[in-house]
Amino acid sequence: MSLAGRLEKYCLTTATSGREEPMMRLITEDLTAFTPDITVDSFGNVMARFEAASPTENTLMVFAHTDQLGMIVTKIESTGFLRVVRLGGVPERVLPGSVVKILAHDGDVVTGVMGTPPHHLTPEHMKYTVPTIDKAYIDVGASSAAEVHALGIQVGDHVAYEPRFERLAGNRVAGTSIDDRGGCAVLVGLAEHLAQKPAAVNVVLVATVQEEFNLRGAMLAAEKIKPVAAISLDLVAAGDTPEMGSPNGVAVGEGPVMGLYSFHGRGTLNGVIPHPGLVDLVEKSAQKGKLPLQKHATMGLLTDASYVQFVNGGTPAIDLCWPTRYTHTGVEMCSLDDLEGLQTLITQVVTSFPADWDGTRE
């Protein structure tokens, strides 16, 4: 299957943080075509192992997250409306007037709409403000709490954007959870390559969980795998839209991106300054493959590489990305060319990764 085909299949599959089973099943099925050595841990990380061409102790971990952000039902009003909190960084701005799916605990999927005041009756002061998540509510068509319960919905159930995948002009696409189904699609493409041409190191590809929730699913996988280095495949926010003024210089259509600095000061105080040896390896791989390579340094951004780097006494880590607009909305947009470029880049990096790579800094 093509990269675009995989991306579409994954974007149309709803799998919120902690409820990744639909993506775990799909990706396990897809990886099984390329290796029999697949394990799943209790959190839901799917790990596919590819032995090195010649025996070595060293293992490289490459990972992408299967989960997507959403909301959690916190209260069912007597009037039948559902109240929610955010599961991950859902932007409140895009919620009113959108269609959502409630993943009822009994397995049913219930459609709802996010309410908003009727335009004609909206007072001036409310027209140009964004209601906070505690003001948000979902209407599933029920008139009472009893009717909501009869649909199988209860407090704690997950809510996700209605899944969609749109093909735009210029080989560009938009959809729900391009973050990080793009990374998952590239990961499976890498598996296809490794099945034909083993690397000099052992490679474990990990489809991780709960990135959007707390960024620590990948950390558990890294603790088990004990890699000499870890590479994250996830998007980077593009700064090329009319309102942004290109703060990080990253543009859609200009090729894959290497993260040189990320930092999230709001609570986590975490980020990644990648290991210089990995930066060097990625740069040389891009040169060797004559690939375009954008670089980003972005405040406010974080991937689970931030936590992977702290396990096993230190795991050198780096972010490889592709530019995406409108991140965390239901219409995240990117270029398939950039994703293909990332596919070629990560294949080149893994192919060039030395069997005896040592991350010790001098």
Q: Which residues contact 255 (CB under 8 A, 6 or more apart)?
A: 291, 292, 293, 294, 337, 338, 341
Q: Which of residues 205-264 bind Zn ion (CB under 5 A)?
A: 234
Shortest Cβ 207–Zn ion spacing (Å): 12
Near Zn ion by CB under 5 A: residue from 8, 20, 67, 179: 179
- Selected range binding Zn ion among 51-59, 103-111, 145-153, 175-183, rule: CB under 5 A: 175-183
Q: Which residues contact 305 (CB under 8 A, 6 or more apart)?
A: 218, 230, 231, 232, 259, 272, 317, 318, 319
- Selected range binding Zn ion among 5-13, 27-35, 177-185, 274-282, rule: CB under 5 A: 177-185
- Selected range binding Zn ion among 124-132, 176-184, 315-323, 333-341, rule: CB under 5 A: 176-184
Nearer to Zn ion, 19 or 83 (CB): 19
Shortest Cβ 184–Zn ion spacing (Å): 10
- Selected range binding Zn ion among 113-121, 178-186, 331-339, 341-349, rule: CB under 5 A: 178-186
Nearer to Zn ion, 251 or 302 (CB): 302
Catalytic residue among 211, 212, 254, 340: 211
Shortest Cβ 196–Zn ion spacing (Å): 28
Nearer to Zn ion, 8 or 319 (CB): 319
Using H for helix, E for strand and C for coil, what is the string for 281-334?
Answer: HHHHHHHHCCCCCEEEEEECCCCCHHHHCCCCCCCCEEEEECEEECCCCCCEEE
Shortest Cβ 183–Zn ion spacing (Å): 7
Residue with tokens 């990320």: 262
Nearer to Zn ion, 8 or 179 (CB): 179
Nearer to Zn ion, 20 or 234 (CB): 234
Q: Specify burial of residue 107 (Cβ count, 10 A radius: 0-12, 13-18, 19+).
A: exposed
Q: How far apart are CA 45 and CA 62, in angstroms?
A: 12
Shortest Cβ 67–Zn ion spacing (Å): 9
User: Which residue pairs from 72-76 have beta carbons closer than 8 angstroms and sit at least 24 positions apart in sequence?
Assistant: 72/156, 72/157, 72/158, 72/159, 73/102, 73/138, 73/153, 73/154, 73/155, 73/156, 73/157, 73/158, 73/159, 74/155, 75/155, 76/145, 76/148, 76/149, 76/153, 76/154, 76/155
Does position 20 interact with Zn ion (CB under 5 A)? The reply is no
Residues 78-117 as x/- pattern, contact with Zn ion by CB under 5 A: ----------------------------------------
Does position 332 interact with Zn ion (CB under 5 A)? The reply is no
Nearer to Zn ion, 83 or 181 (CB): 181
Active site residue 211: yes
Count Cβ neighbours within 10 Å for each residue of 118-154 and write b for 16 or more, e otherwise: eeeeeeeeeeeeebebeebbbebebeebeebeebbbe
Does position 67 interact with Zn ion (CB under 5 A)? The reply is no
Q: How far apart are CA 36 and CA 174, in angstroms?
A: 33
Q: How many residues bind Zn ion (CB under 5 A)?
A: 3
Near Zn ion by CB under 5 A: residue from 67, 180, 338, 340: 180
Which positions are annotated as active-site residues? 211
Residues making contact with Zn ion (CB under 5 A): 179-180, 234
